[in-house]
Amino acid sequence: MNSTQIIIAVTAFVGVASLVWWVIQLLNVGQGSNYDHRLKFLRDASGKNGKSGTTRSRKEELAKLLEDASPQLSQALQPKTEKDIGALRQRLSEAGFRKENAMAIFLSLRFLSMLVCFTLGGGLTMLLVGFSESALLPLICSLVVGLMAPNFILDYFGKTRKQQIFRGLPDALDLMVVCVESGLGLDQAMRKVAEEMKKSWREIAEEFGLCNLHLQMGRTRAQVLQELGSRTGVDDLRALGSTLIQADKFGTSIAQALRTQSDAMRTKRQQIAEEKAAKTAVKLIFPLVLFIFPGIFVVLVGPAGIQMARDMLPLMGP
């Protein structure tokens, strides 16, 4: 790399750093004077039972800073239509992020991820290949990676949460059956499940705790049970809500409905396990062919090949 390319790379790095500094200064505009920040800091410090404000962890400080900067950062990536907004809120809800500013924080993280990947990828590319046309493709790729990475992470969180709910739901239903048969109502049974399963299945405890909170706020049981399945995206919870609504509407036994639903879910889990076990033989073919068979072939055929080579050398002559 000659001196001209080094100068161009340094200039590009300074430009990107200036852009980042400008964005940070833009986020600080309109957030109040220094006196407001000091008063806010004192209020936060005095509201923690006399503890010093310096005891706040860095994680809380970073979350607070990101929450304050969310409206400015998320404005550029805000969905345009109501359908896109609803889809994004549903994805966030399935992943467990249900605060009012969850969408703004997620969009802010996308913007920051895009900016960081573009800065790091662009700086590394310019140091390696210089400022040329060949650096355009890595810059675009780094920008796309930074823009799409939060989406994949959000989908991973949602998938993991759904799996945890699916695995722990039969145990929750068995506990509800015991509570209902012992004389408790459905609302008290859901509250008991939320209390007893905080350590074993935290996701299910959170969902049933939210249902209890909605019931205490005066919402009907049918609405709460319908939202239980819709906000999590788990089909078994939707089926459970429909079953409980029908049992409550027609006056049938809730304990029998819960037991039937629990047996059906355990049967479904067993079928899924049998399906995965049946696919194991097919999945093992590729590592066997690529890694195990070549070693076995060398061990079995190698000595015979060496012996044949030794026997053929005298016959070949000088």
Question: 273-277, long-range: CB within 8 Å, 24+ apart, which pairs?
Answer: none
Task: Please tell me whether the overall predicted TM-score, pTM, comes out greater than 0.85 for this model.
Answer: no
The single residue listed with the structure tokens 């900016």 is: 115
Rg (CA), the chain: 30
Distances, alpha carbon 75 to alpha carbons 32, 58, 66, 106, in Å: 20, 26, 14, 11
Q: How many residues does the chain have?
A: 318
Return d(Cα 216, Cα 191) in angstroms, integer.
11
All structural domains of the chain with their residue ranges: 3-131, 161-280
pLDDT at 231 (0 to 100): 84
Residues 213, 218, 219, 222, CA torsion sign:
positive
pLDDT at 286 (0 to 100): 84
Return d(Cα 261, Cα 239) in angstroms, integer.
8
Which are the contacts of 107, defined by CB distance < 8 A and separation ≥ 6? 70, 73, 74, 77, 78
pLDDT at 63 (0 to 100): 59
pLDDT at 32 (0 to 100): 46
Tens-level pLDDT at each residue, the chain (318 residues): 555 556 555 566 666 666 666 555 555 544 444 445 555 555 555 554 444 444 456 656 655 665 665 555 556 667 778 888 888 888 888 888 888 778 888 888 888 888 888 777 777 776 676 666 666 777 778 878 888 888 899 899 989 988 888 888 888 888 888 888 888 888 888 888 888 888 888 888 888 888 888 888 888 888 888 888 888 888 888 888 888 888 878 877 888 888 888 888 888 888 888 888 888 888 888 888 888 888 888 888 888 878 887 877 776 655
Return d(Cα 244, Cα 227) in angstroms, integer.
13
